[in-house]
């Protein structure tokens, strides 16, 4: 069974071909949030340490299914807060778009 990031990436290709802007934005930003969560934190350096020159390859963190779902729920919550803020300032058009993105992401939540 494919992981959540694999499903999101596969569906991103489909939504791009369909030119579904809300779905593309929701999937892209969620994939970026997942990728950011896999990035290791920067190592602590003392002020006397020499600067790092050049590229340094770091191992990515391995996220669990629970981590993926937590990030997905966080993305949904961020959009719900944004939709409320758009409603408060009278931007119902933007709120509708953000709610469409929520609908896209909610399809990836487990049922039951």
Radius of gyration of the chain (CA): 18
Q: Give the pLDDT of residue 60.
A: 85
Q: What does the pLDDT look like over 36-79, one tens digit per residue?
A: 999 887 666 666 767 666 666 778 889 999 999 999 999 999 99
Q: In the chain, pLDDT over 70 holds for what percent of residues? A: 88
CA distance 5 to 27: 9
Q: Give the pLDDT of residue 48.
A: 72
Q: Give the pLDDT of residue 58.
A: 74
Residue 20 DSSP code? -
CA distance 91 to 74: 22
- Give the mean model confidence (pLDDT) for residues 75-91: 98
Cβ atoms 38, 63 nearer than 8 A? yes
How buried is residue 62: exposed, middle or buried, by Cβ count under 10 Å (0-12/13-18/19+)? exposed
- Give the mean model confidence (pLDDT) for residues 1-20: 96
Residues 6+ apart with CB under 8 A from 77: none
Could you give phi then psi for residue 48, rounded to 5 degrees? -90, -5
Q: Give the pLDDT of residue 46.
A: 66
Q: Give the pLDDT of residue 55.
A: 66
Q: Give the pLDDT of residue 40.
A: 81
CATH classification code of 4-39+63-106: 1.10.1510.10
CA dihedral 96, 36, 10, 98 (to 10 degrees): 0
Is it the case that residue 27 has pLDDT exceeding 70? yes
């Amino acid at each position: 069974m494919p992981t959540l990031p694999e499903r999101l990436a596969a569906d991103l290709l489909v939504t791009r071909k369909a030119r579904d802007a809300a779905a593309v934005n929701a999937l892209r930003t969620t994939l970026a949030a997942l990728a950011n969560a896999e990035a290791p934190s920067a190592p602590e350096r003392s002020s006397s340490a020499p600067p790092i020159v050049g590229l340094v390859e770091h191992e990515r963190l391995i996220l669990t299914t629970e981590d993926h779902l937590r990030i997905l729920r966080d993305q949904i919550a961020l959009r719900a807060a944004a939709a409320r803020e758009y409603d408060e300032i009278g931007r119902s058009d933007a709120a509708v778009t953000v709610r469409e993105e929520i609908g896209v992401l909610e399809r990836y939540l487990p049922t039951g």
